[in-house]
Amino acid sequence: MRVLGIDTATRIGSIGFIDGDQVVFDDQVKIKPGGAEKLPAVLNEAFNKTGRRLEELQLIAVGMGPGSYTGLRVGMAIAKGLAFGLGIPLVGIVTLEALAVNAQQQGALICPVLKSRKGEVYAGLYQKKAGFLEELLPPMIWEPEKLVDLLREKRKPVVFLGEGIEEHTDYFSSAMENFALFGTGVENLVHGAELARLGRAEWEKNKENQLYTCLPLYLRRTEAEVRWEERSCGVGSAD
């Protein structure tokens, strides 16, 4: 199956194209500032370089987040536009899950971490069983201290992955004692080809086209929503 994977949830996004078990391309994209808007041009360049055509695609897998609100909106709009225009199905994949597949350490729990606001992080918890990824905790917003408290109770090695570990490596390392392991280099980046593989597995499992149902996984209300609610609450109030 020929699948395109797109993720724009983080500062470094990714596009990848697989044809069966072959990785046709797997490229990184700088998302900020304005990187997500440049995605169509990057896609065209990647297809042209490899001599492939968008019309070959049979499925699109898009990262749902959590992550950058703007990046998610733009990336998902592009992915849905492509799927609609090509008349092919689309599936959504949690970005943290796409990060978790990068973990190489055997027998360890996997905790992908992405930056949120207010010193908090987006994180989930996974483990690999018989070559498959199992979700132990769904994506949530965490204060680093509370996340560590929960992970320490597991008394198992934990692999931390993702751009969210940059600011917290020292804390995770000291607070988790000898149980903390860390991804390095490209392990901390989403790979479009891996996202495409996850999307293919999701499609083969359910055969459900999510073109009209897939939404960004925000977890937190946007600033615009908060301001709108504040203004709405003030309507009609006395001076």
Domain boundaries defined on the chain: 2-95+189-228, 103-185
- Positions of the chain with pLDDT lower than 70, given as ranges: 33-35, 221-239
3-state secondary structure of 220: coil
The predicted pLDDT at position 107 comes to: 87
3-state secondary structure of 138: strand
Amino acid letter, 41: A
**The pTM is what?**
0.89
| CATH for 103-185 (3.40.920.10, 3.40.1350.10, 3.40.50.720, 3.30.420.40) | 3.30.420.40
Phi, psi of 108 (to 5 degrees): -95, 155
The predicted pLDDT at position 132 comes to: 87
Whether 2-95+189-228 and 103-185 share one fold: the answer is yes
In CATH, which superfamily holds the domain spanning 2-95+189-228? ATPase, nucleotide binding domain (3.30.420.40)
Residues 216 and 64 sit within 8 Å (Cβ to Cβ): yes
